[in-house]
Chains A and B, each alone.
Chain A
Amino acid sequence: DAEITQSPRHKITETGRQVTLACHQTWNHNNMFWYRQDLGHGLRLIHYSYGVQDTNKGEVSDGYSVSRSNTEDLPLTLESAASSQTSVYFCASSELAGTSTDTQYFGPGTRLTVL
């Protein structure tokens, strides 16, 4: 069955380190998204991509970067981790290129702790 996976599921890192969170989908979806979930804030969009070589900033993109070299993967990099980036991170994908009206399918999440 097609799916969307995230790795690692849990990670503890130190302030200042570079961290990369992986997201892989097997639906061949055009669109991929990264969100962070914090208590009291719901889900906030970090970065998104509407296709290979396309990346866009979301609401809370400072300190994060993404690259899209193929359809299946959208890794999220924290250039220099900060305690404020402690959060649960969700990756999502949707099929119809360039639109937000399509259903998004979410991965299981990565819990990141920055000490």
Chain B
Amino acid sequence: AQSVTQLDSQVPVFEEAPVELRCNYSSSVSVYLFWYVQYPNQGLQLLLKYLSGSTLVKGINGFEAEFNKSQTSFHLRKPSVHISDTAEYFCAVTSGYSTLTFGKGTMLLVSP
């Protein structure tokens, strides 16, 4: 079985500040990891994903995430956030043979 824990339900931050959204997973087999973003009143869209290779993954809108196998983490980072980054962010995991399991989401609130 696989699971995802997003430790923070909300992360408030000021514009132009750096941000890290935390994601930890558990799985007994190899994993593939994803971050999706949901803007208000919209469906989800892919930010980035880790399938193999470099553990540092770059995504859209200046976001990046680092896969850390020893700490079973896949934290999402951005060095300087904008108001437009206000959204809910979901971490997700799959073994490849199983369906995608989503975390409960982290609401990023960017204020001026």
Q: Are A90 and B43 in contact (CB under 8 A)?
A: yes
If over half of B's interface residues share one DSSP class (helix, strand or loop), that class is named, otherwise mixed; here it is loop
CA distance A100 to B99 in the complex (A): 6
Q: Which of the 9-residue segments B10-18, B68-76, B78-86, B100-108 touches chain A?
A: B100-108
- Shortest CB distance B110–A (Å): 21
- Shortest CB distance B6–A (Å): 8
Number of B residues, CB within 8 Å of A: 21
Q: Are B99 and A101 in contact (CB under 8 A)?
A: no
Residues of B near A107 (CB, < 8 A) are 43
Residues of A near B98 (CB, < 8 A) are 100
B44 near A: Cβ within 8 Å? yes
Query: Could you list which residues of chain B lie within 8 angstroms of chain A, going by C-beta atoms?
Result: 6, 32, 41-46, 49, 51, 90, 94, 96-100, 102-105
Cross-chain pairs A/B with CB under 8 angstroms, 8 sampled: A44-B102, A90-B43, A90-B44, A92-B43, A100-B94, A103-B46, A108-B41, A109-B42
Query: Could you list which residues of chain A lie within 8 angstroms of chain B, going by C-beta atoms?
Result: 33, 35, 40-45, 48, 58, 90, 92, 99-101, 103-109
